[in-house]
Structure 1
């Protein structure tokens, strides 16, 4: 087991995109493997970080798609649960800017049924970081078991959380009620500008960072699309510009940014503890790398993060 392994816990969702149909009364869907945590695990593995994904994978047609996609990308599924419940489906509509609006079909699906017994079997001795977030942290009945798992993991691994608020499935109040507790568990909190507006409406990003620092999170990173990212390390700030790219859609961009951030920190030996020796210039470098990974993800359809060699070619071409 690699000393740089990152364990990712969370959902794997079938992202269905409408495509031209042969008749006006038909709707054709192109289905890709998605879900925020799964996207992050795939991006980590493709970048070269040993990534293990803790998922509850159904045996249905979507679950088989997920498994094939994850394994082809090099993700370790040795600790995944073979679930009896069906997979979660999300139907995406893209606006003129490539932003996706999702409708979810997620009632009683496999992703939310975690039990304490399932997670107690997971060996974290080789993992320097545990990343989770999105719906797995807030959807019942499994959310409480996931929180307890993070609390047990915190003494031996860096904890990274991405709230990834999905108001169509869970009211933002449910996230707000748990966010301070998550910050108490997390060393890294990465969220989008949309998440910020849903969680703390009208709050300036710098003030939000200070609120979350006070609750316990050492590193807070707010990604803001074309406006780049704001990173705050114990209150010391740095702004990192976005990387120019031809945008096809933005699906999975935030997940790819998180993977790039964690990959860079892990490659430089900064994961595995409470980030006590981390410097702001190292944060800026990690965020800049994450921005490159996100830009390449935006240049293709769906949550399809780049491999390490594609990123090298992208950087050599000037990042555009």
Structure 2
């Protein structure tokens, strides 16, 4: 095992607000006061790319986060959380705009749906000058995704940065589709461009249902390969993940866990995947040395990271010492 090289993550921070059943006044559940006139919210630092950066740093990968951090109360929360997790913020931009807020509604199975307050917020206002300050030559991998790739005016600039990073870094993309804010047609139109620049594409089953509702997982993966992505990973919640390396498929089972909620689980999976690949010296190019057995090990490790995230409230990925030794390797292979 090697010491992982530097990874750069680019994207948003989001203040995730949850109904708080432990507020100072008696509640009937779901954060409501007995008379139904008050709602108590608990705010946690989140956002897909920020969660991935935190996950990587906590696992031991040197991680730089390119973000536009507001000076408001949420921005100060983000900054403290990221720094305490070991994330390098030296290239983060100080933003005058307010932070993005997402209000989560978590159901009885721990699944969250969101309403977003994101118009005119800091995360999407990237300028070419801000992004040019970051030196990506030392990064073995550049990861982005979620709303940063689709929200204007910054989205096209983020795509440009990924293209510029590709000659010297592995590129990873996680669409993390949010139909509450962005028309699914936007994702369908842009995904071929992302696949053309991405070496790694990670999606959830829900993402796939939006992008390719009439396609099987296998057919969708083959389409993404045709468009350029070498490694496609589809996460399946409690059922683990299906990965496809140039059409060679492997299936990794889920890890049983007591679920508090699933917030940030996909982001934690991505962090685990990239961390494991980095420790094996497999990041830094076009994944030329990557084999199916490597994919199995990396996905098995990532599934464990995601499971530990589901066992606690909110987007709170584990630290390296919580993973213990070994990561398992049970899998089935198809499409040889």
* Contact kept? 2:250, 2:296, Cα under 8 Å: yes
Q: Deviations over 1:152-194 (max 9, x none)?
A: 0000100000000000000110011000000000000000000
1:32 paired with 2:33, answer no
Matches within 5 A, 1:131-146: 131-146=143-158
1:191 paired with 2:199, answer no
Aligned mate of 1:226, from 227, 234, 238 = 238
In structure 2, what is the equivalent of residue 12 of structure 1? 13
SS at match of 1:76: coil
1:256 paired with 2:256, answer no
In structure 1, what is the equivalent of residue 183 of structure 2? 171
SS at match of 1:213: helix
Normalised to the residue count of structure 1, the TM-score between the two structures is 0.96
Q: CA deviation at 1:313?
A: 7.5
Matches within 5 A, 1:225-304: 225-304=237-316
Q: CA deviation at 1:37?
A: 0.2
Normalised to the residue count of structure 2, the TM-score between the two structures is 0.92
Stretches of 4+ moved more than 6 A in 1? 313-316
SS at match of 1:43: helix
CA distance in 2, matches of 1:27, 1:34: 20
When the two chains are superposed, the root-mean-square deviation of aligned CA atoms in Å is 1.3
CA distance in 1, matches of 2:324, 2:93: 35
CA distance in 2, matches of 1:293, 1:110: 29
* Contact kept? 2:297, 2:327, Cα under 8 Å: no
CA distance in 1, matches of 2:119, 2:62: 32
1:149 paired with 2:161, answer yes
Gaps (5+ residues) in structure 2? 26-32, 329-336
1:215 paired with 2:227, answer yes
Q: CA deviation at 1:315?
A: 7.0
Gaps (5+ residues) in structure 1? none
* Contact kept? 1:39, 1:303, Cα under 8 Å: yes
SS at match of 1:237: strand
Aligned mate of 2:56, from 39, 44, 48 = 44
1:85 paired with 2:86, answer no
* Contact kept? 2:198, 2:229, Cα under 8 Å: yes
In structure 2, what is the equivalent of residue 113 of structure 1? 125
Q: CA deviation at 1:202?
A: 2.3
* Contact kept? 1:3, 1:126, Cα under 8 Å: no
SS at match of 1:165: coil
